[in-house]
Structure 1
Amino acid sequence: MKKHSFKTVAKLSVLSTACVAGFMIFGGEKAEAHGYVEKPASRAYTGSLLSLENYAAAYKSYGQSITNPQGVETTKGFPFAGPQDGHIASGDGKIGDYVLDDQTEDRWVKNNMTGGMNTFTWKYTTPHATTKWHYYITKKGWNPNEALKRENLELIGTVDHDESLSDTNPTHSINVPTDRSGYHVILAVWDVSNTGNAFYQAIDVNLQNDGIPEEDTEAPTQVKNLKQTGATTSSISLSWDEASDNKGVKEYKIFRDGKQIDTTATTTFTDESLTSDTAYEYTIQAVDFAGNKSEMSPTLTAKTLEIPAEDTEKPTNPSHLHSMGETANSVNLMWGKSSDNVEVKAYHVYRDNKKIMTTNKTSFEDTGLSAATAYSYHVVAEDTSGNLSDESNHLLVTTTVGNPENEWKLGTFTAPILYTAGDIVSYNSKEYKVVITHQNYGDITWAPGANGNSLFVIK
């Protein structure tokens, strides 16, 4: 693929959102399911933009991500869990290949960036209930010609969320270090609260910091105006004013009753799993990128609510019920978490107005369905006192037609056919196993048995 400056990519990015969204809907997973970093353009999103200029060349250089930048998803828990070292950029290859893991100094298009406070904007093709986003950058002295590993990355910011939908928080302010220059990789991780997965976005940047700054020994200012902004019988919500620092505040340490319980890059925090009708003492401490710590904030005493003698308040209704994907015989549902003055106990799932499942999770896979059939779903929350919420939105979903004969078929650009690694297909009286997940857009040279085709092997 020919070399591109980021100016080329920037020009492509101003194409209509409808055009780009329409193109990406043909990705290896359902386009409405996920999200990607739009600005500065992530490695995956850059490939999708370049594919508008030259599809074949972009596919060769960026692989499956060109039609599915929102699908770089694997298990969460980074850096202690999540993708394996060497496969961080591709999310363990769950997108269908490991192309995004290729790593050399001049392999990828880079975003020019100056250290200090920078904004990162996500594009959510469908929002999800979210616990946090966390950002990492390659350390000083990392080797850009070696595979990306945990040991090469350091945390530069965390944006906590209240488990509401992600579209309420699309842009994050992250303080990028000023003590390094040249090529670096920033890793943005989006943790979904009601699944075991997270989305991973590698962002290639060219840091343009002037010289090496003097050693930073100045501590941030003391955190002020710490206050309680809300409470339930089991949680307390806090907020405070932003501290200032000569090089920027990296994070805030939260202390409850004298012991640190968490850190956050924002100026809000919700402490959960507390005891009802109980007072707690909180203090906050600001920390900058050099590790300098502010004085402790003044202590705030906050209290959880008492469990009412008679609870008659119903939970909020489950929000944004949607499908994470359909097959010929299943629908994978997900919805936003309900809140309650005491506690939500369960969710009741209805199909065609008949209850089919009660669960304490915010997701459910309905199986044993008929192919090419429309089903209507809604969800109702119940609290520990038996109060029921209003109904969620009603969702109409149609299962896929399926291909019971598993016959290989030729797709088209407007109606591509997905072939998933591990599937068995038949063609010209032979059976083949799919070895690489891919979409067929009408290219007969990708048929099983075609000369030079490595997408299938004879079973």
Structure 2
Amino acid sequence: MLLFALMAGMVTWTGAAQAHGTIVNPASRAYQCWKTWGSNHMSPTMQQQDPMCYRAFQANPDTMWNWMSALRDGLGGQFQARTPDGQLCSNALSRNDTLNQAGAWKTTNVSRNFTVQLYDQASHGADYFRVYVSKQGYNPTTQKLGWGNLDFITQTGRYAPSQNISFNVSTSGYTGHHILFVIWQASHLDQAYMWCSDVNFV
């Protein structure tokens, strides 16, 4: 409950018009940085303990403060055609470019079957979610993510408006550090969100 109270408090930073959501588990890159360092983002220990979040905060702190606002309008489902390789983790938003950088992002441990959790402050609902996992052999610490690095896992059905949406994902054959790439097609408008979450298959 404390987590969601903190989330609600963050709306004051961005205004209601910008309040949407993100994948909170496994945490998207911007959300993970905000959750871990948002209340301590001036700490000198971040550079050693979490260098990727440190780089992101140095480049543009707004990426983390607005972790719920990584949307683009009017893609019409043309996600791959209109999102260049190397820009998937930022949803092709230049202000969030540090999220595309390869490196030692903090990971969330998952098993071959796991649950994805979305927090949507504005309760938009979903036409669907598309879920991908980076291919075995792709190295997130040295390579930016491109469409050719992804295995398509599943597309969900519709979800009614809710602040909290969860769905199960089943995979096989993955070990170690991978990127979970999720596209959320929101229901209220043609708004597409794309996120990278770093996971460690155990």
Q: TM-score, normalised by structure 2?
A: 0.80
| SS of structure 2 residue aligned to 1:132 | strand
Provide, for residues 32-77 of structure 1, a one-character-per-residue CA deviation record: whole Å limited to 9, x for no partner.
6311011121112101112334223556434322111111112352
Q: Which one scores higher on RCO, CA 8 angstroms, separation ≥ 6?
A: 2
1:226-264 per-residue CA deviation (whole Å, 9 max, x = no partner) reads xxxxxxxxxxxxxxxxxxxxxxxxxxxxxxxxxxxxxxx
Structure-2 residue corresponding to 1:434: none
Give me the whole-angstrom Cα distance separating, in 2, the residues matched to 1:157 and 1:98: 26
Contact 1:59 1:66 in 2 (8 A): no
Letter in 1 for 2:20: H
Q: How does 1:131-210 map to 2 (within 5 A)?
A: 131-144=127-140, 145-161=142-158, 164-165=160-161, 167=162, 170-177=165-172, 179-208=173-202
Distance between the aligned counterparts of 1:31 and 1:46, measured in 2?
A: 23
Q: Does residue 31 of structure 2 align to residue 25 of structure 1?
A: no
What letter is aligned with 1:92? A
**Per-residue CA distance 1:196-251 (angstroms, 9 max, x = gap):** 3211121101111xxxxxxxxxxxxxxxxxxxxxxxxxxxxxxxxxxxxxxxxxxx
Partners in 2 of 1:60 and 1:200 — Cα distance? 20
Give distance in 2, aligned partners of 1:160 and 1:168: 17
Shift in alpha-carbon separation, 1:99–1:24, aligned structure 2, 3 A: farther
The structure-2 alpha-carbon separation of the partners of 1:181 and 1:123, relative to structure 1 and needing over 3 Å to count, comes to same
Deviation at residue 168 of structure 1 after TM alignment: 7.8
Q: 2 CA distance for matches of 1:43 and 1:176?
A: 21
Rounded to whole Å, the distance in 2 between the matches of 1:84 and 1:207 is 27
**In structure 1, what is the Cα distance between the partners aligned to 2:135 and 2:11?**
33
Amino acid at match of 1:151: G
Q: Partners of 2:2 and 2:124 in 1: how far apart?
A: 26
Matches within 5 A, 1:438-453: none
Contact 1:47/1:65, CA 8 A, preserved across alignment: no
Q: CA RMSD in A?
A: 2.5
Letter in 2 for 1:122: L
Aligned to 2:154, the other structure's residue is in SS state: strand
Distance 1:196 1:59, change over 3 A: farther
How far apart, in 2, do the equivalents of 1:139 and 1:25 lie?
39
The answer for the alignment partner of 2:56 in structure 1 is: 61
Partner SS state of residue 69, structure 1: coil
Q: Which has the higher strand share?
A: 1
Q: Is the 8 A contact 1:156 1:176 kept in 2?
A: yes
Higher percent of residues as helix: 2
Contact 1:137 / 1:185 at 8 angstroms: preserved in 2? yes
Residue 29 (structure 2) aligned to one of 33, 43, 47:
43
* Letter aligned with residue 154 of structure 2: G
Structure 1 distance, partners of 2:96, 2:187, is 26
Residues 25/90 of structure 1: CA separation in 2 closer, same or farther (3 Å cut) = farther
Question: One-letter code of the match for 1:23?
Answer: M
Distance 1:69 1:85, change over 3 A: same
Counterpart of 2:93? Answer: 93
**Distance in 2 (alpha carbons) for counterparts of 1:18 and 1:182:** 33
SS state of the match for residue 13, structure 2? coil
Q: Quick check: 1:125 aligned with 2:121?
A: yes
Output the TM-score relative to the length of structure 1: 0.38
* Residue pair 2:121, 2:163 contacting (<8 A) in 1 also: no
- Encode CA deviations 1:118-143: one digit per residue, 9 max, x unaligned: 11110001022531111000012113
User: 1:53-109, CA deviations, whole angstroms, 9 ceiling, x for partnerless residues?
Assistant: 422355643432211111111235255334221111111125x231111112x2x11
d(CA) in 2 for partners of 1:55, 1:132: 34
SS in 2 for 1:204: strand
Q: How does 1:373-452 map to 2 (within 5 A)?
A: none
Structure of higher CA gyration radius: 1
Between the aligned residues of both structures, percent identity stands at 24
Task: Give the count of matched residue pairs.
Answer: 187
Cα distance in 2 for partners of 1:129, 1:180 equals 30
> How far apart in 2 are the matches of 1:207 and 1:78?
30
